Structure 1
Amino acid sequence: MKNLGKHHDGLKFGKRPTLEDVARVAKVAPMTVSRVITNHPYVSQNTAERVRAAILQLNYQPNRAARVLNGQLTRSIALIVPDVADRFFSAISHAVQETARANGYVVLLAASNNDPENEAALIEQMTYHPVDGILLVPADSKRKHLTVTASSGIPLVAIDRRIEVAKADSVEVNNRRGARAGVEHLVHHGCKRIVCVAQNSQLPTIRERIAGYQECLRRAKLPPAKTLHVTDEAEAKDVLITLLLSRRRPDALFTTNNSATICTIDILDRTDMKIGRDVALVGFDDVEFYTLLHPSITAIRQPTAELGETSARLLLQRIHGDPLPPQVHSILPVDLIIRESCGCERRDPLPNHT
């Protein structure tokens, strides 16, 4: 196909392209562009390809307000998560799909595999599908493509991780306060050498949890915080085994997410250290099988269903033009679920809102 070039017929750099600009570049009538955007059947394949090429070349975004007024919504939304197999994200995905279905929408689910480049490509594909809005758990909250997406006009809601490079709606939990609650519980047990095991510490959620851990130790006037920043299970195994076999081994561990917790449990088992006796453990993120372990694992539980439902409802409000503030940041509470791994006796877990 002939290269359309970067500038056409007086279109100025930095000017947001219009439907008329697309029509001029594709050498068709504006009505034809509109028909292609709305998947009208009476457009030839060759013409449709020219129009789509012009749309991509100009980075044209349809006027969503006009589409709402004309009843041209697709009744579909995109959900992009880092990993659909992860229990946390699968629970959120289920809640999003249930909320969308109850409102007459379908959800196009995709996984970025925690790769920002994959994520950027998925966003572009979803934008031109088209969908009416995007729910996103950012792989990297500081990437440039998020700035472009947030300013494109398509409704966007970030879940779990706030976008740091652009103004966009978000729904997350109180990570810092939840971490403080978990570490405070360890302090109340008399623990003095509390080490934080952090995976994916570049993420804003993990940074907030580390900050909450550090704040708690300062308040308790305990020795300076020691945080183990690990990237994968192999690295975690090496550093943790070295630490646990040292003369100044920790008497408690605080893990920043479920993958770090599961890895730590495995390593403690390999070193024949008894959780709750030799070392206390509190993890951020609660997983169902924690109750089946002996000892059962104390954890900070996130409201995954509420995260998904609140995010989906907010996105639908944006799609339909409901009156809302320019930016909405919803912060949901978490629960400290006390079990045996911190030294407590087994009991039925009672929510402790933080």
Structure 2
Amino acid sequence: MSFKYILGFAWCVFSVIPITQNTSEVNVRKSPTNKRATLEDVARLAGVGAMTVSRTINDHPYVSEETARRVRSAIRQLDYRPNHAARMLTGQLSRSIGLIVPDLADTFFSVVSHAVQETARESGYLVWLAASNYDPSIEAAQVEQMIHHPVDGILLVPVDSKDKYLKTVTAGTTPIVTIDRPIEIAATDSVGVENRAGARVAVEHLIGHGHKKIACVATNTHLVTIKERILGYEECLRHAKLPISKTLRLAGRDDVMPAMTELFSSRNRPDAIFAANNAAAIWVIEALREMKLEMGKHIALAAFDDVDFFALITPPVTAVRQPAPELGRMSARLLLQRIKGEFVSSSVRTVLPVSLVVRESCGCKKKE
């Protein structure tokens, strides 16, 4: 499914090269009061009229390349950002939004992206789609490029929700809505799911099978979503008065076999595993096969974040399903509401419910 969606977006994927600045020049040009630069400031620095700056920003065909170059240079030096409210009042909205996800090859993000595109299209908006490749510096450059493009708003799945650049970006005039994980250092709109509650449901199911030694395996453990799932796992075991194993925190695929071998050679060999995200689940499945341990027989497995092929392998994998299409639709609607000025309330955080899809990897019998 992910490849179908990826092909559908291929025409609008773009990459961004970070813009370098002469910091000494910026410091000289900026006002000592750190006042936000205006369109008139850019015009004075570039030696052109305000209308020429506006035309350059909106890619007007009658601006010469040399003039456009001077204007863009002034914009960079002054860190000028077009005022969203003013653009809305003058009818200069681009009718486009940006969407930045960590990885388009991930089924979850491709489904979210498809839902965003469909929702935006229904409202007459184009989606500029970019992948940060889990690199905060690439993400920051993409956000900056989109703001200066400009788009009317940005949907973002942040690589690191504590990255300092996010505080500056969210203080700007371009509306930003985060998907899946909220920004932890600034207040902004976000749409996510019940991570902690979903983890508890999965672990409770394993306990219901009589498993008493349940290990947790996770990757990307710096993310607030994964932290919440680990907390849910620990809360569930604590409530059941069962021992809590130290979470296996995997940095990459190469870590899996050594960690799994050590885990299953220890005195606290688990009888069940809770995988806190789909990448960890996939790596665990590969390791179990190499170790010749059969899921549902030698070891039980429940994962957070259901993906299509979990239903196709033998045995199929029990997993917590996130409402990925609804995440995309709701976040896009929320951003469009902000862009159109339909409400001016403080940041909105929406949390969607999840569900457990029971299959055979946990020890359940196949349904006839």
Which residue number corresponds to residue 250 of structure 1?
270
Spell out the pairing of 1:227-242 with structure 2 (5 A cutoff): 227-242=247-262
1: CA distance between counterparts of 2:127 and 2:183?
A: 21
Contact 1:4 1:25 in 2 (8 A): no
3-state secondary structure, aligned to 1:195: strand
Contact 1:11 1:21 in 2 (8 A): no
Cα deviation 1:294-353 (Å, max 9, x = unaligned): 2111000000100111111111111111114210111000001111111111238xxxxx
3-state secondary structure, aligned to 1:6: helix
Instruction: Provide the aligned length of Structure 1 versus Structure 2.
Output: 348
The Cα shift of 1:34 comes to 1.7
The Cα shift of 1:43 comes to 1.9
Bigger shift: residues 35-44 or 317-326: 35-44
Contact 2:271 2:299 in 1 (8 A): yes
Aligned with residue 44 of structure 1, among 64, 68, 92 = 64
- Tell me whether 1:148 sits opposite 2:168 in the alignment: yes
Which residue number corresponds to residue 208 of structure 1?
228
The Cα shift of 1:225 comes to 3.5
- Tell me whether 1:18 sits opposite 2:38 in the alignment: yes
The Cα shift of 1:6 comes to 2.4
2: CA distance between counterparts of 1:10 and 1:311?
A: 35
- Tell me whether 1:330 sits opposite 2:350 in the alignment: yes
The structure-2 alpha-carbon separation of the partners of 1:200 and 1:4, relative to structure 1 and needing over 3 Å to count, comes to: closer
Contact 1:199 1:231 in 2 (8 A): yes
Aligned with residue 119 of structure 1, among 139, 149, 153 = 139
The Cα shift of 1:48 comes to 1.4
Which residue number corresponds to residue 15 of structure 2?
none
Which residue number corresponds to residue 287 of structure 1?
307
2: CA distance between counterparts of 1:224 and 1:48?
A: 61
1: CA distance between counterparts of 2:28 and 2:263?
A: 63
Contact 2:179 2:331 in 1 (8 A): yes
Which residue number corresponds to residue 309 of structure 1?
329
Letter of the structure 2 residue corresponding to residue 91 of structure 1? V
**TM-score normalised by length of structure 1:** 0.94
Identity of aligned residues (%): 56
3-state secondary structure, aligned to 2:161: coil
The Cα shift of 1:11 comes to 2.4
3-state secondary structure, aligned to 1:196: strand
1: CA distance between counterparts of 2:29 and 2:22?
A: 16
- Tell me whether 1:271 sits opposite 2:294 in the alignment: no
2: CA distance between counterparts of 1:277 and 1:332?
A: 33
Contact 2:297 2:363 in 1 (8 A): yes
The Cα shift of 1:68 comes to 1.1
Contact 1:4 1:57 in 2 (8 A): no
2: CA distance between counterparts of 1:226 and 1:59?
A: 46
Which residue number corresponds to residue 204 of structure 2?
184
Contact 1:156 1:168 in 2 (8 A): yes
3-state secondary structure, aligned to 2:222: coil
Cα deviation 1:185-242 (Å, max 9, x = unaligned): 1111111110000111011110010010011011111113321111111111111122
Contact 1:172 1:332 in 2 (8 A): yes
The Cα shift of 1:69 comes to 1.6
**TM-score normalised by length of structure 2:** 0.91
Which residue number corresponds to residue 164 of structure 1?
184
- Tell me whether 1:297 sits opposite 2:323 in the alignment: no
3-state secondary structure, aligned to 2:269: coil
Which residue number corresponds to residue 17 of structure 2?
none
Aligned with residue 56 of structure 1, among 76, 91, 98 = 76
The Cα shift of 1:94 comes to 0.7
Bigger shift: residues 11-20 or 94-103: 11-20
2: CA distance between counterparts of 1:224 and 1:89?
A: 31
The Cα shift of 1:42 comes to 2.4
Unaligned runs of 5+ in 2: 1-20
1: CA distance between counterparts of 2:342 and 2:32?
A: 33
The structure-2 alpha-carbon separation of the partners of 1:79 and 1:9, relative to structure 1 and needing over 3 Å to count, comes to: closer
2: CA distance between counterparts of 1:247 and 1:45?
A: 71
Contact 1:7 1:13 in 2 (8 A): no
1: CA distance between counterparts of 2:233 and 2:89?
A: 49
Which residue number corresponds to residue 218 of structure 1?
238
